[in-house]
């Protein structure tokens, strides 16, 4: 299974530490984004399902301006149209969302997809797999970590782990082949900068560059 990103190693390096916004833990979005990036976050996903279209577009555009001085990727959750209009790098789709291959062909942006079964695989640029640990943002039954190892052994595109990941348990998914981790609460709750530094340190210990 191949993605279309020209350099998969470059994409992997930009998915090391992937922050997903959640307003339950963020009071000042712009400040939180800056602190996350300063602490070592390599990608941001704007996940704001409650916002009206116009408000969401303005928010993503503001984050895009902040991120211009950082070597990091910006994704929008579920909305390829907002991603294109805002100039974001890509979109992240859930397993019940639009077909990833058609989104890539139509919009020409990076596409990530959440997978929980081998049957969910699509021709996208990266996959997110989980949850492997209890999570408030990814409720539902947990996947066995052995599935992550099976998945990373089958595909050539980057796979990141998501759901309930902290600096204390991240090594469990990184040891099984994840090229990075996607985090929300463990990044944005409390001191964002220090959280990012702790998470980045763990990732770099287990992921070869």
pLDDT band at 140; cut points 50, 70, 90: confident
pLDDT above 80 (res 1): no
φ, ψ at 18 (rounded to 5°): -115, 110
The mean per-residue pLDDT over the stretch 150-179 comes to 97
Which residue, chain included where needed, has tokens 């070597």? 71
Q: 42-46, 52-56, 135-139, 140-144: lowest mean pLDDT where?
A: 135-139
In the chain, the domains with their CATH numbers are: 8-204 (3.20.20.70)
Burial 76-91 (b: 16+ CB within 10 A, else e): bbbbbebbbebebbbb
Strands 17-20 and 43-46: parallel
Query: Residue 124 gets which letter from DSSP?
Result: -
Q: Residue 45: which of 101, 2, 86, 95 has the closest Cα?
A: 86
Q: How many CA atoms lie within 13 A of 18 on its CB side?
A: 33
């Amino acid at each position: 299974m191949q993605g279309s990103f020209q350099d998969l190693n470059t994409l992997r390096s930009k998915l090391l530490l992937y922050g997903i916004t959640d307003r339950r833990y963020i009071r000042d979005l712009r400040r939180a984004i800056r602190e996350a990036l300063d602490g070592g976050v390599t990608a941001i996903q704007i996940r704001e399902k409650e916002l009206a279209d116009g408000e969401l577009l303005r928010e993503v555009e503001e984050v895009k301006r902040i991120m211009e001085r950082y070597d990091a990727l910006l994704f929008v959750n579920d909305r390829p149209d907002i991603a294109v209009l805002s100039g974001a790098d890509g979109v992240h789709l859930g397993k019940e969302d639009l077909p990833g291959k058609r989104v890539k062909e139509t919009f020409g942006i990076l596409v990530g997809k959440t997978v929980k079964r081998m049957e969910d695989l699509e021709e996208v640029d990266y996959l997110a797999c989980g949850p492997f640990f209890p999570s408030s943002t990814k409720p539902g039954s947990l996947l066995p970590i052995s599935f992550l190892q099976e998945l990373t052994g089958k595909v050539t595109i980057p796979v990141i782990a998501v759901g309930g990941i902290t600096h204390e348990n991240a090594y469990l998914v990184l040891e099984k082949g994840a090229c990075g981790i996607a985090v929300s609460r463990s990044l944005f709750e409390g001191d964002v900068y220090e959280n990012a530094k702790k998470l980045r340190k763990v990732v770099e210990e287990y992921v070869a560059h």
